[in-house]
A and B are shown apart, each in its own frame.
Chain A
Amino acid sequence: MNVVYVGVGEMATSRKPEQIVKTLALGSCVAVVMLDPQNKTVGLLHVALPDSSINKKRALERPGMFADTGLETLMENMKNQGFLGGRLVVKLVGGASVMDPNNTFNIGKRNILSVKKTLWKYKLGALSEDVGGSISRSVAINVKTGKVVISSPGRGDWEI
């Protein structure tokens, strides 16, 4: 198996059954997983921040950094890989938050909300999710089987 690593603000799509697409240590970042069952295509985006309005220039250089521009680009990439509309399975992982009584630092929560809002624009919703809380997660997708496996230090791994 060869592993494609997706860094912060990056994304990848793959149709190669021998590949695992992986992103590490999400923290408050959110991983958007897209599975196109018809084309056997997998997409993965590692979003760091909710909205590109804070730095439009950066959004042009690295759209994946933000939920809005990241999802727009990932959707385009999925289409370029042959997605023609129809069924698209979306799974969400990450968006952890430090315990913050007044929510100022709950960037994870804001990332999840923004990802969901943007998904609605495309009439998409998450089929399953493992988000929020106070744990850092990594996620790996097997392109051949479409299995999405989450892992977290001290907690082992599990599938969603």
Chain B
Amino acid sequence: MSILEIITERVEEKPIPSVIAFKLLKLIEDEDHSLKDVTKLVEADPSLTTEVLKVANTPAYYRGNAVSTVNRAILLLGEMMVVGVAICASSSIVFHAPLEGYDSPEGEMWEHSLRTAIAAKALAKYANKNIQPGLAFTAGLLHDIGKSVISEFLIGKSNILLEACGSGKCANFTDAERELLGTDHTKVGYALAEYWGLPESLKIPIRDHHEPHLTLDRYKPLCYLIHLADLLAMSGGCGTGTDSFAYTIDRRYEEHIKLDRNEIEILLLQIQDDFTSIKESIMNR
């Protein structure tokens, strides 16, 4: 069996990170759904109810009044953010297993995903086109899921991958993965997202966050946003091991996101603070 065939098999072995999150996604996809439907679904799950209320009361969202009902919390967070919270609250192996092939210990993939999600949510404010912060958050959370599949095929190959990037043979880490395996974490992540039945708005950024210029025009703003958020997470010290910093910023992000140097520093501080508060609220279960 070829590596690609084994990878395809592995994709089909990965369980959905959160059943409730995917029920919510299906509900949101239906244009006729109401806030009441979402509230009902969340309320039917006591642990998600607690998480949603906790996140709505973190400093990242808190606006002076304690949020005590699910209904208000959903209005404050946005529906897609509730999906993100549900995924965060799951203890899925997709996020919590170590990525041995990336020399990345247990917990790093989770922190990188959460940090990217928070950065994406914060960046949404600076996008030229309206991007829902909750969608940015959830897309950020899921962007690297492919790593959970291909990690095992990269074990012991760090030197080869780093050498390929360092020598200029490969432009970035995804190229090096492709050179070695014939595929990379973005393509495998897309296959996984497809297998799980994720909506297009979440699948596309998984596939195109390192090559946002290749994506469909309507997804360019979101893909550039996740592209930057991913790099901001690495910059903040939350990478996933060997591939941290092994990517180049695509300058064309400027067509979609406006940020000057001063704003970047303010943004990084906000990301750091939101990350600390949301991480604590999710960890203290």
Contacts and interface: CB of A to CB of B under 8 A. Distances in A.
Interface of A: 8-9, 24-29, 48-51, 54-55, 58, 65, 96-102, 104-105, 107-108, 110, 133-136, 153-155
Given A24-B237, A26-B237, A154-B241, A134 B246 contact: yes
A102 B249 CA distance: 9
Given A27-B244, A135-B244, A153-B242, A102 B265 contact: no
Q: What are the 6 closest A-B residue pairs judged by CB atoms, nearest first?
A: A27-B237, A154-B158, A154-B242, A134-B245, A25-B237, A153-B241
B269 A98 contact: no
Nearest to A104: B261
B103 A8 contact: no
B162 interface: yes
A98 B237 contact: no
Contacts of A27: 234-239, 244-245
Contact of A54 (B239, B241, B269): B269
B102 interface: yes
B235 A98 contact: yes
B206 interface: no
B234 A54 contact: no
A8 B272 contact: yes
Contacts of A136: 234, 237, 239, 244-245
Nearest to A98: B231
Contacts of A108: 235
B240 to A, nearest CB: 9
Interface of B: 102-104, 158-159, 161-162, 228, 231-232, 234-239, 241-242, 244-249, 251, 259-262, 264-266, 268-269, 272-273
Nearest to A65: B269
A55 B265 CA distance: 10
Contacts of B248: 98-101
A124 to B, nearest CB: 24
A22 to B, nearest CB: 13
B264 A154 contact: no
27 contacts: A25-B237, A25-B238, A27-B235, A29-B237, A48-B236, A48-B269, A49-B268, A50-B265, A54-B262, A58-B269, A98-B234, A98-B235, A98-B247, A99-B247, A101-B248, A101-B251, A107-B264, A133-B245, A134-B245, A134-B246, A135-B245, A136-B234, A153-B103, A153-B242, A154-B158, A154-B162, A155-B162
Nearest to A51: B265
A50 B259 CA distance: 17
Contacts of A8: 236-237, 272
Of B158, B241, B260, B268, most buried by chain A (CB within 10 Å of CB) is B268
A48 B241 CA distance: 19
Nearest to A105: B249
Contacts of A50: 265
Contacts of B161: 154
A35 B204 CA distance: 50
